[in-house]
């Protein structure tokens, strides 16, 4: 009897010890949540300019084309809950029917939907093809045909690609400990800067203009559930509901103030690179601006500007952060301090882009980007 009690005691101690790291990880998320609230109290209103910031998500799948169980109603509801202005659907293709035609398109519930496809080439390359024949290289870490494929942009960040690096056992216990309280902040443990994809994009930019986007790759298909014979869920847990997926990474599109966002204006902005990637679960970046002036003209990210003696780059952030500038893929200016503005004189032509970090949120996310801009081309 004593030996059995001893074994039970040992097992309980082992279980307790094994769960200590996850209790600590939940504590880290509680501290992160408090730090985000504190940071948001420092938000600086950005003076209105000629552009409106529209937030949305790209690379979303429904039940069409397999791989997903998500319904249109769930997608629309999740977009509304996240107060999105647009959603870009990228359905997997099917042999016998056109999934792009059948998916969400136009205005639904006050949200603009674009109907696109994720297309696989014979060599395995995947592209996101949107209305207007806009094409983005998906999963650039696996993309091969850079020189001959006509591309308008690159999906430099993808939630699924990031998630593949996650230890499933660790993720399981993180979910048990933290999902109810911090369903989106859990991702802070796993978020990684897409180093290799950014390098490939920077290299490709030396040859052609390419818009960077972040992909949610939302499927609503990861979880465990028990269903009855009619297909009704009796109980279960959904690990990637659209409502949470849509909070992780977003694309913020800049369009002219006074205009109504529609399919044409959205696709034109995407093609032009008038947009930036943001991990909104860390904080709302609405109001972020990266532009250039040369004494004669002002341009925003995605544009070209002529190099003149007065050419300057300017960054404005609604929250204080560490602002890092890159030129032709190499570090150009690193603001190690915390600031909401940065202005730098430009004396050489090049391709300039910006990343913003929030080190004041703590070590968990200090080295992980909050914002990745599109470039300004100084010619």
Question: Residue 92's domain is classified under what CATH number?
Answer: 3.20.20
Is pLDDT above 60 for 236?
A: no
Q: Where are the alpha helices (DSSP H) in 133-178?
A: 159-163, 168-178
Q: Which two tokens stand for residue 305?
A: 């500007």
Q: Per the domain annotation, does 305 fall within a domain?
A: no
pTM here? Answer: 0.91
Q: Per the domain annotation, does 292 fall within a domain?
A: no
Is pLDDT above 50 for 226?
A: no
**338 touches 359 (CB < 8 A):** yes
Provide the mean pLDDT of the chain: 90
Percent of the chain surpassing pLDDT 90: 74
Number of H helices, E strands in the chain: 8, 21
Q: What is the 3-state secondary structure (H, E, C) of 101-116?
A: HHCCCEEECCEEEEEE
Is pLDDT above 70 for 30?
A: yes
- What is the per-residue pLDDT for 221? 60
Tell whether the torsion through CA atoms of 332, 335, 341 and 342 is positive or negative. Answer: negative
Q: Per the domain annotation, does 159 fall within a domain?
A: yes
| Distances 271 to 96, 169, 178, 274 between C-alpha atoms, Å | 30, 40, 39, 8
Supply the range of the domain harboring residue 57.
Answer: 51-283
Q: Per the domain annotation, does 250 fall within a domain?
A: yes
Q: Per the domain annotation, does 58 fall within a domain?
A: yes
Of 211, 198, 62, 64, the C-alpha closest to 135 is: 211
Give the mean model confidence (pLDDT) for residues 340-344: 94
Residue whose structure tokens are 């069409």: 64
**Residues listed for the chain:** 379
Q: Per the domain annotation, does 262 fall within a domain?
A: yes
Is pLDDT above 90 for 266?
A: yes
Q: Per the domain annotation, does 180 fall within a domain?
A: yes
Separation of alpha carbons 260 and 56, rounded Å: 15
Q: Per the domain annotation, does 14 fall within a domain?
A: no
Q: Which two tokens stand for residue 198?
A: 């950014």
Cβ neighbours for 100, distance < 8 A, ≥ 6 positions apart: 89, 91, 115, 116, 117, 129
Separation of alpha carbons 125 and 104, rounded Å: 25
Provide the number of structural domains found in the chain.
1
Give the mean model confidence (pLDDT) for residues 215-233: 63
């Amino acid at each position: 009897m004593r030996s059995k009690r001893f074994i039970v005691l040992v097992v309980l101690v082992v279980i307790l010890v094994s769960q200590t790291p996850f209790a600590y990880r939940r504590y880290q998320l509680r501290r992160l949540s408090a730090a985000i609230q504190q940071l948001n109290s420092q938000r600086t209103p950005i003076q209105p300019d000629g552009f409106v910031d529209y937030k949305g998500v790209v690379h979303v799948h429904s039940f069409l084309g397999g791989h997903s169980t998500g319904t249109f109603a769930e997608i629309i509801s999740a977009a509304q809950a996240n107060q999105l202005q647009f959603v870009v659907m990228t359905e997997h293709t099917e042999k016998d029917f056109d999934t792009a035609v059948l998916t969400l398109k136009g205005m639904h519930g006050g949200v603009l939907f674009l109907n696109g496809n994720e297309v696989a080439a014979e060599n395995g390359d995947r592209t996101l093809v949107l209305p207007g024949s806009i094409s983005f290289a998906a999963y650039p870490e696996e993309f091969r045909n850079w020189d001959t494929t006509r591309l308008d942009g690159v999906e430099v960040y993808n939630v699924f690609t990031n998630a593949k690096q996650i230890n499933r056992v660790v993720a399981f216990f993180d979910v048990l400990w933290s999902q109810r309280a911090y369903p989106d902040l859990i991702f802070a443990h796993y978020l990684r800067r897409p180093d290799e994809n950014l390098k490939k994009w920077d290299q490709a930019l030396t040859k052609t203009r390419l818009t960077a986007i972040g992909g949610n790759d939302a499927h609503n298909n990861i979880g465990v559930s028990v269903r009855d014979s009619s297909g009704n869920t009796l109980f279960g847990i959904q690990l990637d509901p659209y409502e949470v997926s849509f909070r992780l990474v977003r694309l913020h599109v800049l369009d002219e103030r006074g205009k109504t966002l529609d399919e044409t204006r959205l696709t034109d902005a995407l093609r032009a690179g008038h947009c930036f990637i943001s991990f909104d679960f860390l904080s709302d970046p609405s109001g972020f601006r990266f532009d250039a002036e040369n004494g004669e003209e002002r341009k925003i990210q995605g544009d070209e500007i002529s190099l003149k003696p007065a050419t300057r780059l300017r960054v404005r952030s609604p929250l204080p952060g560490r602002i890092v500038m890159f030129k032709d893929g190499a570090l150009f200016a690193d603001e190690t301090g915390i600031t909401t503005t940065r202005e730098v004189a430009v004396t050489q032509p090049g391709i300039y882009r910006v990343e913003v970090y929030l080190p004041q949120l703590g070590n968990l996310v200090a080295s992980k980007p909050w914002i990745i801009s599109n470039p300004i081309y100084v010619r």
